Amino acid sequence: MAADNRPTLGIGMVGYAFMGRAHSQAWRSAGAFFDLPARPVMAALAGRSKESVAAAAHDLGWAAAETDWRDLVARDDVQVVDICTPGDSHAEIAIAALEAGKHVICEKPLANTVAEAEAMAEAAKRAAARGVHAMVAFNYRRVPAVALARRWVAEGRLGELRHVRAQYLQDWIVDPYFPLVWRLQRDRAGSGALGDIGAHIIDTAQFVTGRRLTGVSALTETFVKHRPLAEGSAGLSAGGAARETGEVTVDDAALFIGRFEGGALGSFEATRFAAGRKNALRLEINGSAGSLAFDFEAMNELWFHDHTLPAAEAGFRRVIVTEADHPYAGAWWPPGHGLGYEHTFTHEVKDFVEAVAAGRAPSPSFADGLRVQRVLAAVEASAADGSRFTAVEDAPRAGAAVPDAVYQTPEEES
Amino acid sequence: MAADNRPTLGIGMVGYAFMGRAHSQAWRSAGAFFDLPARPVMAALAGRSKESVAAAAHDLGWAAAETDWRDLVARDDVQVVDICTPGDSHAEIAIAALEAGKHVICEKPLANTVAEAEAMAEAAKRAAARGVHAMVAFNYRRVPAVALARRWVAEGRLGELRHVRAQYLQDWIVDPYFPLVWRLQRDRAGSGALGDIGAHIIDTAQFVTGRRLTGVSALTETFVKHRPLAEGSAGLSAGGAARETGEVTVDDAALFIGRFEGGALGSFEATRFAAGRKNALRLEINGSAGSLAFDFEAMNELWFHDHTLPAAEAGFRRVIVTEADHPYAGAWWPPGHGLGYEHTFTHEVKDFVEAVAAGRAPSPSFADGLRVQRVLAAVEASAADGSRFTAVEDAPRAGAAVPDAVYQTPEEES
Amino acid sequence: MAADNRPTLGIGMVGYAFMGRAHSQAWRSAGAFFDLPARPVMAALAGRSKESVAAAAHDLGWAAAETDWRDLVARDDVQVVDICTPGDSHAEIAIAALEAGKHVICEKPLANTVAEAEAMAEAAKRAAARGVHAMVAFNYRRVPAVALARRWVAEGRLGELRHVRAQYLQDWIVDPYFPLVWRLQRDRAGSGALGDIGAHIIDTAQFVTGRRLTGVSALTETFVKHRPLAEGSAGLSAGGAARETGEVTVDDAALFIGRFEGGALGSFEATRFAAGRKNALRLEINGSAGSLAFDFEAMNELWFHDHTLPAAEAGFRRVIVTEADHPYAGAWWPPGHGLGYEHTFTHEVKDFVEAVAAGRAPSPSFADGLRVQRVLAAVEASAADGSRFTAVEDAPRAGAAVPDAVYQTPEEES
Amino acid sequence: MAADNRPTLGIGMVGYAFMGRAHSQAWRSAGAFFDLPARPVMAALAGRSKESVAAAAHDLGWAAAETDWRDLVARDDVQVVDICTPGDSHAEIAIAALEAGKHVICEKPLANTVAEAEAMAEAAKRAAARGVHAMVAFNYRRVPAVALARRWVAEGRLGELRHVRAQYLQDWIVDPYFPLVWRLQRDRAGSGALGDIGAHIIDTAQFVTGRRLTGVSALTETFVKHRPLAEGSAGLSAGGAARETGEVTVDDAALFIGRFEGGALGSFEATRFAAGRKNALRLEINGSAGSLAFDFEAMNELWFHDHTLPAAEAGFRRVIVTEADHPYAGAWWPPGHGLGYEHTFTHEVKDFVEAVAAGRAPSPSFADGLRVQRVLAAVEASAADGSRFTAVEDAPRAGAAVPDAVYQTPEEES
């Protein structure tokens, strides 16, 4: 065998549902494609049910299983705690892990409330002083096309930003007989489409533009106010007209318009009622020198309009983001051989391991996660207050100068 | 020659710029493709400059020219007055023509203020009692794909409507050195992107859904606050750094979110700063049984998702709206031989002539135009009042039942 | 009225079916949008049935009607004869008109046989010596996107051409019960998909590339060999199982591969059996410096890949061909307000009138039409001879140098 | 840990370049997503260089390394030999492995010559009698959209097939200074674009249609006949005008037209000179009842036109192939969360393991690989013989009945 003098990095993961499966694939794959400075070792998986967690650990490639996350955090062979549970447990686990000196990756949204997110950001700040790092897992930042979009915005290719148009459209609860799962209950999920998918477009938009939302005006709606109780609930069978229903206590859709620092306008929409749109995370940005457009349903493409070309030659250009010079793409396959959803997590692992091995803070930080949480809170506050324009707490002023402004209008020159 | 026993319909047009050229082509062409019940005769064109209007009449095919619109209205050979002037003259001309017993087609927006629009709607109502009719020229209703969208919504193919997503994106003033033309001055144009193109998506959305906006929350912005004075203004030459600038007094962009009667949510955006988008009038509607999507930049296509199909077979379908059974299309060319922008006006003429010949009120009426005006007013009021949700005057309640509801949620059944 | 000192140009048209309606709209419209050097006057229309031709003349805007094309050719007020009849009468009418000193526009394909086409090209050559001109109406050359494609190829933007991929896909006879119309009978139509739509892609490809096909290898097929006789034929009604059928004597589809002068390879396909493709005239060209792609079903778009850009920035770019600098487009509407099928004919009229008024030969010439005819003949000869590669008569050698070569391979430099 | 009573299946892989990396990821991942009947164990990797193969084995997750493939075949812990070497070594390794009683997966094309492929198919047949199985790795069959296409064709949704349009377009050697790598030398690679990517579209087309090509007419071309020798060759540096060049001895592009059993026509094109097309494996099939279209550059989409719908409602529908009911997709992520290139290999492993565990022959067989090889041979023979139509050896007659014909034309009914 080849010698491998790299340090190892023991990983412990909590939760093994949708996100846990995705993260496992990432931990299993990253080292085969990226030249990592440390070798991740899939040490242990935690879950409540002894039998289930053992089976999952076996299937997903974890060396051991724990039934209490505290035991996982305490393991000597675990240096990183990867939190893949629902939002209501993030704060407790993350803070405990950080205090125990373990690096943390935490799924999004960072927490279910601003207060929890603040506590987590505070804990992350304290830990960082001791060289212990935390990252919130906004995986869409690691779509190569999204990372390329950020690069091009930062390079000034779009000039001064004017419009941000972001949508996250799904359709999995269009059917009113779809049952009342926990994601549709406020006490469990915090919010509905807003926190689940709205959080993604808020983070993606702020990441790509390098600018923060300063205030918002919002509407939210619950279209189907009662739904059948989920299987196993009390009540008659699904077929019966008398099947018992319960109240949906989260939003089905959230729309808001807002302002970014630097002056751009934003239009956002998150919904689970867009029939035919499966996972349409879309972002379009218009600037004075060009525009970008992205849709996750065609995740290997970034559309770029170069407004500095003569009008007769310009148009939106479909860049297939699989070239060696594109973010992340060089590690994979030849041009035109696209990546899929799970690669966003593999890239996340790669960036995280590189940062931690170098003693750098990985990105996005818990502070970034808190910033998204504050936008979510402003959206809910506005929606509850007649859509009144509501400032995002701690955000810069809308008109604040942004460092990379590359453009001047006539009055600014005088 | 063939005998032609149809009555004639004398047309007088006021204005001969962009809209005047489009309307002329429509009057010239409609009879060759549609079997009209009356034969339009292009009797006279009115404009202020004697020389220019005579040349335009000659080029565009009008038999005579007038330099005062009042003289045109008074002509015995004119039964229809077609108003193609800017919005600030609509009310005066239209009301005078209706009172003189002439049918009227008036370009959109109906007027620059709600008060003017109310007076016009009132005049139209009085005239209708005397068999004299008025229509506002929201030409996008006559795109075959848009008319097909309305048909399918009315047939219940989308089920209960959930989302309306409407954008009208242009980019002709992205350059801050583009001069301060009259469309950028409030005293002339009324408003900016809002009234010019926002009015189109408001009308199109209300037309296709058959539902009215009940309230809105809005943001407007003027990105470039000063611009060089237009050529011919006082000041130095364009190249000089000291070229004189003036203030832009209208919005560059207007965004709003809102609610429709029947419960759907709407997201609207009108801007002249979307670099690379030339005339992107886009509409997407999501319902419980299906979705529709349209973009005028591909005007011969309507995308339809049938949500009643099995998920494994469903998807957005590109219907090329050139079949004999499609609205308007049968009169033109074989399938796949598309139409262009100007055909919307030809269809407008066809519908107008048919209605007038049959003694019916053409559609959209001045009352419809007033409804759009009231939405524009609510948008401006909301934007001026911290984006507060603002009811549209005279609109039905958001939750009001709509006649063609085809769908029931679980709680509605109980 | 405005003074108009331009000479008039009297037009006489023969035939008033599909093409006749399209040409009429063009003659009626061209002068309102283009500043023509002569004023076309729609003098007379010829057709066999007195009643029908009179009605058509009235509807389509022709001042007079004739029942014999010879009388139309003989009229003093006719300087241009526009031939919109089926191919079997082209030669006789065109040659007679040219000999009578009338300019000629003739629909495509130029003729049903090479012999006829040769006679016509010969007649056109003789007439040209007397200042009388002829044009064959390959209207797709006048799609702005197609004209732009030619411009960019001629400017060297694609470098050395490697591949031409051309398809013309329709689906109007997929149903085997579609009747045996005259277009499916060899004695009337000459050939099937090959001459009807294959001729268009051959001409378009040669036009855009500026290079001729030098040889081809072909397959043709008639999928449905018998069809019900058309209505009015002897036999029982359509519903009856015993309805009489007749033999289809033309090709349903024609495929060929070939070589162009200069060395590019070509792949061509013309079919009426491509279910779901309505009028998909598609052309893709790949060169050493870039590529172009076009599909008539989205006729206002030209897709351009600039291969000289860094790979990380390159991609097919959707140019909406409605800018003032684009061919023909400046005469119409603002950017993004697209054109339709019929505009190709209006552009044809514009180019023809400009050429004739200037004493120049319009393009494409009858010689160009003959060149297409020779390719059609080579296709049929190859298909009949085991697909053997068959040289196109009179074409240059495949390897012949082309004047605008812009590129050298390593061995050419040595 | 969970108990795992499944048998293990020891895998030995030969080669670790592009294909080896892809196969490794598949072996590593399949078990985490699919419930496999046997547990693959990545036992050993073979390669010539001791140092390199050891490093690769470590990076890619193989437990041991061998420097001679014969030693790998001989290992007791290897039950499956996975051949990822260039085509010239396939026959020797595969036959030896089968004779040693090892199951075999062999990369495509099966071999460099028909003779080798015949020997391999013969060996596979003998081995199968002993329960030892072989598969050729046409991975594009395992794109979910391609597998869905086959399902729908087999269900008769396209009716009688008329047209198959297949292209595989790449652009990685457009630059004439790209060096003379081994893939451009006949003695190493067998052929150029034809065998490398043409083989894929031949197999994919035959797989999806369930019909074989019966004969072809072909053109091949080498656009750039000399190229700089690759780095490390004798000669001066790349920058020098005098850099030594060598002859390209394979095709740069191969085009052919042909016939399928059952009567459909095919048009095929494989090229490495389509600037801007990165990995455009495209397939369109037109039948009497519908059409399908696919492009690997958007690999999660299958476009379906249902020709049995009323024309006014029909159109190509974009099915995102990520639903639970779609082939392979249910094992992965929720709808709209797409897969990438490498998943085709994971699916291949899954199907292979299932077949071998059940004692069934996996598909595609070496006989299928031989069928593709015979088409490649017919293409080369036709191209060398003036494009003469050349029958594919052992193929059925073009007009032969196919079992699942679902459609009758009028003459067939009589």
Instruction: Using DSSP, state whether B38 is helix, strand or coil.
Output: coil
Q: Which of C310, C313, C320 sits opposite A315 (nearest CB)?
A: C320
Decide if B312 and D325 are in contact by the 8 Å CB cutoff: yes
Q: In whole angstroms, what is the distance from residue C365 CA to residue C121 CA? A: 8
Q: What's the confidence (pLDDT) of residue B243?
A: 73
Q: What's the confidence (pLDDT) of residue D239?
A: 46
Kindly report the backbone phi and psi dihedral angles of residue A317, in degrees, each rounded to the nearest multiple of 5, phi listed first: -110, 130
For residues A253-260, average pLDDT = 98
Beta strands in B121-169 (DSSP E): 134-137, 161-169
- Three-class secondary structure assignment of chain D: CCCCCCCEEEEEEECCCHHHHHHHHHHHHHHHHCCCCCEEEEEEEECCCHHHHHHHHHHHCCCEEECCHHHHHHCCCCCEEEECCCHHHHHHHHHHHHHCCCEEEEECCCCCCHHHHHHHHHHHHHHHHCCCCEEEECHHHHCHHHHHHHHHHHCCCCCCEEEEEEEEECCCCCCCCCCCCHHHCHHHHCCCHHHHHHHHHHHHHHHHHCCCEEEEEEEEECCCCEEECCCCCCCCCCCCCCCCEEECCCCCEEEEEEEECCCCEEEEEEECCCCCCCCEEEEEEEECCEEEEEEHHHCCEEEEEECCCCCCCCCEEEEECCCCCCCCHHHCCCCCCCCCCCHHHHHHHHHHHHHHHCCCCCCCCHHHHHHHHHHHHHHHHHHHCCCCCEECCCCCCCCCCCCCCCCCCHHHHC
> Using the 8-state DSSP alphabet, how is residue C396 labeled?
P
Q: In whole angstroms, what is the distance from residue B267 CA to residue D363 CA? A: 51
Strand partners, A65: A45
Q: What's the confidence (pLDDT) of residue A374?
A: 97
For residues B270-294, average pLDDT = 98
- Share above pLDDT 70 across residues of chain B, in percent, rounded to a whole number: 92
The pLDDT tens digits for A94-139 are 999 999 999 999 999 999 999 999 999 999 999 999 999 999 999 9
* Chain B nearest CA to A374, separation (Å): 19
Task: Give me the CATH code for the C143-391 domain, please.
Answer: 3.30.360.10
Please report how many Cα atoms fall inside a 13 Å half-sphere around the Cα of residue A48, on the Cβ side: 2
Q: Which of B218, B276, B307 sits opposite A276 (nearest CB)?
A: B307
For residues D91-107, average pLDDT = 98
Q: What's the confidence (pLDDT) of residue C160?
A: 97
Provide the residue count of chain B.
Answer: 414
- The angle that helices A114-129 and A366-384 make with each other, rounded to 10 degrees, is 170
- A27-31, D172-176, D234-238: least confident range: D234-238
For residues A30-37, average pLDDT = 96
Q: In whole angstroms, what is the distance from residue C103 CA to residue C8 CA? A: 14
- Share above pLDDT 70 across residues of chain D, in percent, rounded to a whole number: 92
Q: How far apart are the first and last CA of chain B?
A: 69
The pLDDT tens digits for A338-397 are 999 999 999 999 999 999 999 999 999 999 999 999 999 999 999 999 999 999 999 887
Q: In what order do the strands lie in the sheet with C64-66?
A: C64-66, C39-46, C8-14, C80-83, C103-107, C134-137
Decide if B286 and A274 are in contact by the 8 Å CB cutoff: yes
Which bin fits C190, alpha (ψ -120 to 50), beta or left (φ > 0)? left
Decide if A319 and C314 are in contact by the 8 Å CB cutoff: yes
**Among B157, B390, B395, B171, which Cα is nearest to B292's?**
B157
Q: How far is CA B97 from the centre of its chain?
A: 21
Q: What's the confidence (pLDDT) of residue A232?
A: 52
Q: May I ask the CATH architecture of the domain B8-139?
A: 3-Layer(aba) Sandwich (3.40)
pLDDT band at A402 (very low <50, low <70, confident <90, very high): low
Decide if A297 and D334 are in contact by the 8 Å CB cutoff: no
The pLDDT tens digits for B152-180 are 999 999 999 999 999 999 999 999 999 99
> With b meaning 16 or more CB within 10 Å and e meaning fewer, what string describes B359-383?
eebbebbbbbbbbbbbbbbbbbbbb
Q: Which of C312, C317, C324 sits opposite A315 (nearest CB)?
A: C317
* Chain D nearest CA to A169, separation (Å): 10
The two tokens of residue D237 are 């540096």
The pLDDT tens digits for B228-259 are 997 654 444 444 455 799 999 999 999 999 99
Q: Is the pLDDT of residue B114 over 80?
A: yes
Q: Which of A316, A320, A324 sits opposite C318 (nearest CB)?
A: A316
* B216 and B257 Cβ atoms separated by less than 8 Å: yes
ipTM for the predicted complex comes to 0.93
Q: Is the pLDDT of residue A399 over 70?
A: no
Q: Is the pLDDT of residue C235 over 60?
A: no
pLDDT band at A15 (very low <50, low <70, confident <90, very high): very high
**Among B278, B303, B280, B300, which Cα is nearest to B344's?**
B300
CATH 3.30.360.10 residue ranges of chain D are: 141-391
Higher confidence at residue D241 or residue B47?
Answer: B47
Peptide bond into C364 cis (omega under 30): yes
* A378 and A216 Cβ atoms separated by less than 8 Å: yes
* Chain D nearest CA to C245, separation (Å): 8
The pLDDT tens digits for D317-352 are 999 999 999 999 999 999 999 999 999 999 999 999
Give the type of residue at D392: V
Decide if B312 and D323 are in contact by the 8 Å CB cutoff: yes
Give the type of residue at B141: R
Decide if C176 and D409 are in contact by the 8 Å CB cutoff: yes
Q: What single string gives the DSSP state of each residue in A146-158?
A: HHHHHHHHHTTTT
The two tokens of residue B121 are 């709607």
Q: What's the confidence (pLDDT) of residue C237?
A: 44
The two tokens of residue B18 are 């962009």
Q: In whole angstroms, what is the distance from residue D315 CA to residue C208 CA? A: 29
pLDDT band at C15 (very low <50, low <70, confident <90, very high): very high
* C392 and C268 Cβ atoms separated by less than 8 Å: no
CATH 3.30.360.10 residue ranges of chain A are: 140-391
Beta strands in C298-373 (DSSP E): 301-306, 316-320
Q: What's the confidence (pLDDT) of residue D4?
A: 82
Decide if C315 and A318 are in contact by the 8 Å CB cutoff: yes
Q: In what order do the strands lie in the sheet with A134-137?
A: A64-66, A39-46, A8-14, A80-83, A103-107, A134-137
**Among B299, B308, B205, B319, which Cα is nearest to B259's?**
B205
For residues A27-49, average pLDDT = 97
**Among C172, C174, C248, B323, which Cα is nearest to D159's?**
C174
pLDDT band at A410 (very low <50, low <70, confident <90, very high): very low
Q: Is the pLDDT of residue D412 over 50?
A: no
Q: In whole angstroms, what is the distance from residue B382 CA to residue B388 CA? A: 5
Q: Is the pLDDT of residue C201 over 50?
A: yes
Give the type of residue at B296: F
Give the type of residue at D82: D
> Using the 8-state DSSP alphabet, how is residue A229 labeled?
B
Cβ neighbours of residue B338 under 8 Å, at least 6 residues apart? B299, B300, B320, B322, C297, C299, C340, C341
Q: What's the confidence (pLDDT) of residue C182?
A: 87
Decide if D296 and A333 are in contact by the 8 Å CB cutoff: no
* Chain B nearest CA to D200, separation (Å): 26
Strand partners, A285: A164, A292
Decide if B59 and C278 are in contact by the 8 Å CB cutoff: no
Q: Is the pLDDT of residue A409 over 70?
A: no
In this structure, the strands spanning D390-391 and A213-221 are unpaired
CA angle D169, C146, C25 (to 5 degrees): 140
Looking at every residue in chain D, the average pLDDT score rounds to 93
* D313 and B321 Cβ atoms separated by less than 8 Å: no
For residues B95-122, average pLDDT = 96
Q: May I ask the CATH architecture of the domain A140-391?
A: 2-Layer Sandwich (3.30)
pLDDT band at C402 (very low <50, low <70, confident <90, very high): low
Looking at every residue in chain B, the average pLDDT score rounds to 93
Q: What's the confidence (pLDDT) of residue A243?
A: 73
Cβ neighbours of residue B76 under 8 Å, at least 6 residues apart? none
CATH 3.40.50.720 residue ranges of chain C are: 8-139
Task: Give me the CATH code for the D141-391 domain, please.
Answer: 3.30.360.10
User: Could you count the other beta carbons within 10 Å of the beta carbon of residue C375?
Assistant: 28
> Using the 8-state DSSP alphabet, how is residue A92 labeled?
H
Q: What's the confidence (pLDDT) of residue B360?
A: 95
The pLDDT tens digits for B5-22 are 899 999 999 999 999 999
Hey, of C302, C307, C317, which one would you mutate to test binding to chain A, going by the most A CBs within 10 A of its CB? C317
The pLDDT tens digits for B296-351 are 999 999 999 999 999 999 999 999 999 999 999 999 999 999 999 999 999 999 99
Q: What's the confidence (pLDDT) of residue D300?
A: 98
Q: What's the confidence (pLDDT) of residue D31?
A: 95
Residue in A closest to C322 by C-alpha: A312
* Chain D nearest CA to A267, separation (Å): 22
> Using the 8-state DSSP alphabet, how is residue A297 labeled?
G
Q: Which of B25, B320, B339 sits opposite C297 (nearest CB)?
A: B320
Q: What's the confidence (pLDDT) of residue D242?
A: 54
